[in-house]
A and B are shown apart, each in its own frame.
Chain A
């Protein structure tokens, strides 16, 4: 997958991000690792939330917008069952270097459980996290918005 990233033009990123989950996996693999100019360009790609499953019935998954953070793009996918958030995963997040991996290995599970706990405990907001969690929160919000929650 890494071999792809060097040679594919930006257009592929735009196309991939407009598609579904497989597209997002591709986006993740194409994600520029250290080039800030490409990262800025990808902010402008027409990314939109995508969802699968019929609204209002059974289980649906909804993927949020890709949100650019200083450390790289963040994107989450939520599962909604009968109008309630039942699961949440990060489909893309900064993992370019050991420090990113260390931070996100710790932060993402925490944020996932926070989002689930917040819903069950009627918590309006959370104090304590920055950067990745903001991107995560924004992507989560766009997923919830497009799910109509």
Chain B
């Protein structure tokens, strides 16, 4: 996937946690081998070339394609799995695989908290300590060194935070209608919700929509909050975001 995952696991017997971590990392490598569009021999590359039917792919491929179709439907086409006309589910795979890794780790006996950060998108489960929630800083794209907000898991058992933006990688979000870099007044969109699989897709879609449509759309989704920052340094939030700040 060309990115890096970091794990923070609290509680549990060290050996069992280490083994689960190995499984989680193996799962990420497997996802990369199945889904990478940079690898000619990945199942998704072969699927895109018509060499392999979905039915003969690994079960994860059908699962991810189904999730991606759902994301495309909910986002009214703003999240898309096609890039320059060919199949490219990359946009959903990172969030999906990070969430899957987090759940695998949380299933270990005695584990009370898991944080998995996949290239800046975070899935949090449980809590790091009995009286302390997980706290996630949201990088401020316009103020070097600043955090735009701090999101807390206080009061909820699972939460994820995903940010889409132009800050560091330049324009990499494509408008599915034009195939060109998205024309948007936003520099970053952070979306907060229970599952990283969805939240990551919603951040991408809202970014491409722009601040006005993006905010209205995020507001319409249940259990989802958003923080949008425009190039003019305006910050717009969904109504329920305040409850998630900490």
The tally of residues in B whose CB lies under 8 Å from a CB in A reads: 36
Interface-side segment among B24-32, B49-57, B83-91, B130-138: B130-138
Docked Cα-Cα span, A131 to B167, in Å, equals 12
A117 CB contact (under 8 Å) in B115, B121, B136, B137:
B137
Contacts of B188 in A (CB 8 A): 128
Q: Are A130 and B119 within 8 A (Cβ)?
A: yes
Instruction: Classify chain A's interface size.
Output: 20 to 34
Residues 129-183 of B contacting A (Cβ, < 8 Å): 132, 134-139, 141, 144-147, 150-151, 161-163, 165, 167-170
A123 at the interface (CB under 8 A from B): yes
Please measure, in the bound complex, the distance between the C-alpha atom of A103 and the C-alpha atom of B138, giving whole angstroms: 18
Chain B residues with CB below 8 A from A113, complex form: 144-146
**Is residue A57 contacting chain B, with contact meaning CB distance below 8 A?**
no
- For residue B203, which residue of chain A has the nearest CB? A127
Q: Name the residue on A nearest B113 (C-beta).
A: A124
Q: Does B128 contact A (CB under 8 A)?
A: yes
CA distance A70 to B3 in the complex (A): 9
Question: Which residue of chain A is the closest to B94 with respect to CB atoms?
Answer: A130
- How far is A127 from B115 in the complex, measured between Cα atoms in Å? 12
- Do A128 and B138 contact each other (CB < 8 Å), given the known contacts A107-B168, A110-B144? yes
Q: Complex Cα distance A139/B13, Å?
A: 27
Which A98-139 residues have C-beta < 8 A from chain B?
99, 103, 106-107, 109-110, 112-114, 117-118, 121-135, 137-138
Contact B4 A127 (CB under 8 A): no
- The answer to the question of B12 belonging to the interface, with a C-beta cut-off of 8 Å to chain A, is no
Complex Cα gap A40–B169 (Å): 22
- Smallest CB–CB gap between A112 and chain B, Å? 7
B136 to chain A, nearest CB (A): 5
A141 within 8 A of B: yes
| A87 and B246 alpha carbons, distance in the complex (Å) | 26
Residue of A nearest to B138 (CB): A127
Residues of B within 8 A of A117 (CB): 137, 145, 147
Query: Does B135 contact A123, Cβ atoms closer than 8 Å?
Result: yes
B2 contacts across to A, CB distance below 8 A:
70, 131
Residue contact A134 to B145, C-beta cutoff 8 Å: no
Shortest Cβ distance from residue B49 to the other chain A in the assembled complex, whole angstroms: 24
Contacts A/B (CB < 8 Å), 22 sampled: A99-B170, A103-B170, A109-B145, A110-B139, A112-B145, A117-B145, A117-B147, A121-B137, A123-B137, A125-B117, A125-B137, A126-B139, A126-B147, A127-B121, A127-B122, A128-B138, A129-B139, A129-B167, A129-B168, A134-B4, A134-B119, A141-B6
Q: Write the residues of chain B forming the contact surface with A, with a CB cutoff of 8 angstroms.
A: 2-4, 6, 8, 115, 117, 119-122, 128, 132, 134-139, 141, 144-147, 150-151, 161-163, 165, 167-170, 188, 190
List A residues at the B interface (Cβ < 8 Å). 70, 99, 103, 106-107, 109-110, 112-114, 117-118, 121-135, 137-138, 141
